[in-house]
Structure 1
């Protein structure tokens, strides 16, 4: 059995041009074999044929992510399920950009109109334990990036947010870039408040991808959240003007 429940998204992720929806999920070892419980008046997402034999955890993550995505799409006046592309990325309706992330028991989806946002990326990660830090530190961060760790963050917290921020950035740029990136293809330039500034340093990047990118982040309930909302230039100016 898989149980899906809509919950309020973390307030820090909210933005006037972006729809954010979250779903909490629970599952047992039988997965969809014993059925799926979803909120009333909600269409249960469709599990692709390729996932019918997946483990229950993977099935639950997928369904929760799609349930959150469908709810976010409805808030934009769009509808329909979000299928999986050949590259395994979500295939959003025409005129919509979006991103999905999930971790243990929680999935979040963000969507926006393509006329207002040119890229969205979101990522959730549990704060790393010491063993994970030891095993992954060399993959996530260069020495010069480690030197930028704020004193307010422990090493596990910092590496979690850096890992998550790079994931969010990759998700935001991939639909336009269509280029597979590794962790060292993004470099941390600095950290200010809750914002990590990153730059892509892969070869043969188009001009727009060579600019620095700001990725917001926060820690809550033992999880690291990162999101990269890339507004179109006109919308970015309009929103910033309204906030002044």
Structure 2
């Protein structure tokens, strides 16, 4: 897996790990950049109704999204939201993730990417939470407690988060949580799917950061 020696500044370093798939745009943003510039006025107005922490995450998320759209050769007016999901323009697939004041996004045309998912994690979940993320056999595969088990859980958690974001719009309420998703090792990541829907799967790419994990999911043909 790829790695780099420093994450300062993290958004700039993350470009080292960006997807290289044609047509798939990648963007980053950080609270450390100062006021987000790649956002629209309607997004700023909406953010003023939010608590400070949520406002910061929303703005850097939208900034990363607009940068990802631009990288994919696309653009959008204000991207508001429908429930918890971005209200994307027709013909667009995208996904956003944020962790510790840093946001990442992937975007592309829906004719090329039926669905997309991305996840950035800079804090590993405790091993005690494994049963909330993994199926029984997956949890058993972690082995004994220790740094190796914690790192495996960290990676599998992030991979499942990215897969969940990609699979959820396709499967709807049939996908209830991360435990429904099964991971199978594939190249530099996993194939992820839900056993009761074998015809639907995504390919998850994993990139190891010295202080975290970056994963993105695209349809598996």
- Structure 1-normalised TM-score? 0.73
State which of 100, 118, 123 in structure 1 corresponds to 2:114. Answer: 118
| 2: CA distance, partners of 1:90 / 1:196 | 26
**Does the 8 Å CA contact 1:9/1:22 hold for their aligned counterparts?**
yes
Other-structure match for 2:55 = 59
Superposed CA RMSD in Å reads: 2.8
CA deviation vs aligned residue, 1:106-144 (integer Å, no higher than 9, x gap): 100110011111111001112426xx222x111112341
Asked if the contact 2:94/2:107 (under 8 Å) is kept, the reply is yes
Candidates 21, 27, 30, aligned match of 2:27: 21
Give the 5 Å matches for 1:70-81. 70-75=66-71, 76-81=73-78
Contact 2:28 2:102 in 1 (8 A): yes
Give 1:215 deviation, angstroms. 1.2
Match of residue 68 from structure 1: 64
User: Residues 156, 55 of structure 1: CA spacing in aligned structure 2 closer, same or farther, 3 A cutoff?
Assistant: farther
Distance 1:62 1:145, change over 3 A: same
| Number of aligned residue pairs | 206
Query: In 2 relative to 1, CA 90–193 (structure 1 residues): closer, same or farther, beyond 3 Å?
Result: same
- Residue 144 of structure 1 corresponds to 137
Shift of 1:23: 0.5
TM-superposed CA distance for 1:89, in Å, is 0.4
Structure 2 unaligned regions, length at least 5: 1-9
Question: Aligned residue for 1:31?
Answer: none
CA shift, 1:22, in A, is 0.4
- Among 192, 195, 201, the alignment partner of 2:195 is 201
Q: What are structure 1's unaligned runs of at least 5 residues?
A: 28-35, 234-244
Write out aligned runs for 1:107-186 (5 A).
107-128=103-124, 132-134=126-128, 136-149=129-142, 154-179=148-173, 180-186=175-181
